[in-house]
Amino acid sequence: MNSIPKSKGKSIPIHVSYKGRKIVAGNLTPGGVFKKIVERRDKLLVLDSYGFDTSYMDDVFAQGCKRIELRVKDTGEKYFIDTDTFKKYAVIRSIGRFGRRMYVPLRYWEQPEVPKQDKPVQLTLM
């Protein structure tokens, strides 16, 4: 397990080692929300899920994470899930070059309601 430093009033960056480099996997807010940003190409299609490395998620849970927020950068989609539901439906797999990761299919996540836009109207020239 990695050790996550405690921080008063600020989000804590959560790091993971990737190809020998230390990169930010997400941020844990003081309110207990773990925020992760992904790209659509990161999705594991067979599980309809994005991966979370167990190497940092165990620490995130130990630090009191209550909710996980996932944002897909290139589509703008947002997903939310509480940690109990995440743990209940998590499938742990080691796929490809990645170590053990937790995958929760998107059907178990909540999405905020997006206001519906009216149908575009074709303008006519007079």
Quick: pLDDT tens for 68-123: 999 999 999 999 999 999 999 999 999 887 789 999 999 999 998 765 656 666 66
pLDDT of residue 92: 95
Has residue 3 got a pLDDT over 60? no
Distances (CA, A) of 125 to 14, 78, 119, 120, 122: 56, 40, 19, 16, 10
Compute the mean pLDDT over every residue in the chain, rounded to the nearest whole number. 87
| 49 — pLDDT class (breaks 50, 70, 90) | very high
pLDDT of residue 99: 83
The token duo for 30 is 């003081």
Compute the average pLDDT of residues 4-11.
63
The token duo for 70 is 């996932």
Report how far residue 36's alpha carbon sits from residue 45's, in angstroms, rounded to the nearest whole number.
Answer: 18
Compute the average pLDDT of residues 30-46.
95
